[in-house]
Amino acid sequence: MSDPDLLAAARAVRENAYAPYSRFKVGAAVRGASGRVFVGVNVENVAYPEGTCAEAGAIAAMVAAGESRLQAVAVIADSPAPVPPCGGCRQKLAEFGGPDTPVTLATTDGVRQETTIGTLLPGSFSAAHMDRA
Ligand code: THU
């Protein structure tokens, strides 16, 4: 299910990405359970591993606002094909969304791919795996 407003928010915030090292700006927007939209960008650092992804920023904004469930996700970058979230971001998305939570991956040229958190991270590690009772 596409969410044009969510993708528009990701596209707009992408301009603010701080990516002087990769020169690869990414924008992300998430819709929380309340319907509110939260945005994030990648924020790089001269100590490269300290950089953070756009998805992580959007999730952090949602949690800081008091929400903890994802209704939908959109990610956009100026890439030849819709950019897939990195492994760490897939795990972060799985923490706050369900397997059927829709994820829109897009390029700034208008190519879109609709997927879900479950498709991006099949067989994900969850709290149930720690249940030994
Ligand atoms: N990046 C994201 O922000 N999200 C993704 O889904 C893929 C990669 C960022 C991390 C880094 O700042 C730049 O893109 C290049 O890897």
- The per-residue pLDDT string of the chain (133 residues; one tens digit each, 9 = 90 and over) reads 578 899 999 999 999 999 999 999 999 999 999 999 999 999 999 999 999 999 999 999 999 999 999 999 999 999 999 999 999 999 999 999 999 999 999 999 999 999 999 999 998 888 888 888 6
Determine whether 15 is an active site residue. no
Closest CA to 106 of 85, 61, 76: 76
| Candidates 15, 55, 67, 114; catalytic one | 55
Atom index in ligand 1 nearest the CA of residue 43 equals 12
Give the torsion through C-alpha atoms of 53, 66, 91, 79, to 10 deg.
-30
Q: Answer whether 73's CB lies under 8 Å from 55's CB.
A: yes
Pairing, β 112-116 against β 102-107: antiparallel
Q: Would strands 26-32 and 37-41 be described as parallel, antiparallel, or unpaired?
A: antiparallel
- All domains in the chain, ordered by first residue: 4-130 (3.40.140.10)
How far apart are the CA of 78 and the centre of ligand 1, in A? 11
Neighbours of 108 (CB within 10 A): 13
Q: What is the DSSP track for 16-28?
A: T-B-TTT---EEE
Q: Which amino acid is at 86?
A: C
Q: Which residues line ligand 1 (CB under 6 A)?
A: 19, 22, 24, 26, 42, 44, 51, 53-55, 75, 83, 85-86, 89
